[in-house]
Chains A and B, each alone.
Chain A
Amino acid sequence: MAKEFEPNIIGFLCNWCSYAGADLAGTSRIKYPPNIKSIRVMCSGRVDTVFILEALRKGADGVLIAGCHPGDCHYQSGNYKTNRRIRLLKKFLNDMGVEPERVRFEYVSASEGQKFAQVVTDFVNQLKKLGPTPLKEIA
């Protein structure tokens, strides 16, 4: 039997909201797919586009960036700037011929364990349809 494609997801979670949100999902025993590998960053604004590209090249099929809701950023404006950057990157990836859906930016607050699980489940389902990334490094 052919094995179903299991996408790899790298998640960059902001320390103040989304990482706590993911933690809440865990402690509340909400079920979500194990495809995501979380990396804690101090702010979603820390996520440079080079990180995203590196992740995609090193075998991730999708990259999730999660930060605080607008206005809630611990550093005032980090998430707004990330929004701009990711918006632009997605447009650009589209022009390069990489599906922009592989990169996803979401607002997940510390109390939204349910939303975090929802986002990850959605994302995994989406990536299963897309298949592996074309950017993958030639070893």
Chain B
Amino acid sequence: MVDLKKLRESTEKIINRDDVKYVIGWEKGTHGFQVTPLFITSSDDVERLIFNPLCVHNLTVFLMLQEKLPLRKGAEEDKRKVGVIVKGCDSRAIVQIIQEKGLNRDDVVIIGIPCTGVIDPKKINKKFPNQTKTVDIDEDANNFVIKIDGKTHKVPKEELLMDKCKQCQFPNPIIYDVLVGSEIKTTGKPNYKDVESFEKKSLKEKWEYWEKQFEKCIRCYACRNVCPMCYCKECMVDQLNPQWIRRSVNVSENTAWNIMRAFHLAGRCIDCGECERVCPAEIPLVKLNKKLEKEVLELFDYRAGLDVDVKPLLSMFKPDDPEEFIL
């Protein structure tokens, strides 16, 4: 686990720089196992900063959500940088956004944390239900050490880790200005077991499965709002002319929305799993994304968010791209 003192020190150094507007990190939440994002605007806020296995949020989304208000006459734009604290997977989001030229590398200061895996809020809330007070969580090599009301619980990591973390390949940030802590050896391999077993189903079974899942969708668009890659100025679903997806909540529109959402992330999704975490209807959105990730890897030998200098998947081509018919 990361040395909190060191993390705070480096954050303080960065927030004290003249060219940094604020730094985004995590702070203790107000309820149970919650942790909330923290915007550090001055060195006084630094002591609220924390990092523990409950820090699931991918904070890079806030880089893209920055509000740019119209300027008053004669006023100058605030061109200061924004700092952000990232885990391994989060850093891939930044790389991907830079690849797409959605963000300028010089506009962000990145503090990287080598991450040993985070806890799935759904799993921990199930294990310790009705927890209202905030909780201290620590970790050793194989266990999470959870202190509740003076009692210490040791829970094996396997039990509480997010599914994405169990097969994590990139625990170390790919891009960073400051790295807090030392790099971790990676053991993960791309694991598509879940997807592969699903592939074997027949078309009809697949359709029925997804129809059932999408029936649950209430179209709150939380998956879109939390996604660091969904930063279009106007989202396809908000568009009124032409209106591609109607607002009515029925299976047909829900299916259309979910297909388009997943497809827009083809070759872009960096597998941070945020969409599934926030989904109130518990639709297995990661499965969709993972599926596309696998196809992209197989067809085009491409993985999102690994190299700043590579062009995004669908805006480039190779003359020898696979084709399914002979000319």
Contacts and interface: CB of A to CB of B under 8 A. Distances in A.
Interface string B205-231: 111111100000000000000000000
B149 to A, nearest CB: 46
B210 A97 contact: yes
Contacts, number: 89
Interface string B123-166: 00000000000000000000000000000000000000000000
Interface stretch (A13-21, A28-36, A88-96): A88-96
Interface string B223-265: 0000000000000100000001000001110011001101100
B317 A77 contact: yes
B322 interface: yes
Contact of B314 (A84, A94, A134): A84
Interface residues of A, number: 32
A88 B292 contact: yes
Interface string A2-17: 0000000000000000
A42 B288 CA distance: 32
Contacts of A94: 203
A54 to B, nearest CB: 6
A10 B95 CA distance: 38
Interface stretch (B37-45, B65-73, B293-301): B293-301
A84 B300 contact: yes
A96 B244 contact: no
Contacts of B316: 81
Contacts of B327: 69-70, 107
B313 interface: yes
Contact of B205 (A69, A81, A97, A137): A97
B206 A80 contact: no
B210 A96 contact: yes
A89 B250 CA distance: 23
Contacts of B244: 50, 54
B15 to A, nearest CB: 42
B182 interface: no
Contacts of B210: 96-97
A107 B263 CA distance: 24
Interface string B257-298: 001101100110000000000000000000000011001100
A97 B258 CA distance: 13
A120 interface: no
25 contacts: A49-B263, A50-B236, A53-B256, A54-B244, A57-B252, A57-B256, A69-B327, A70-B319, A83-B323, A84-B321, A85-B314, A88-B267, A88-B299, A92-B259, A94-B203, A95-B206, A97-B204, A97-B206, A97-B207, A98-B207, A99-B203, A135-B252, A135-B255, A137-B252, A138-B250
| Nearest 7 Cβ contacts at the A-B interface | A97-B207, A97-B206, A80-B317, A91-B295, A137-B252, A138-B252, A50-B244
Interface of A: 49-50, 53-54, 57, 69-71, 77, 80-81, 83-85, 87-89, 91-92, 94-99, 106-107, 134-138
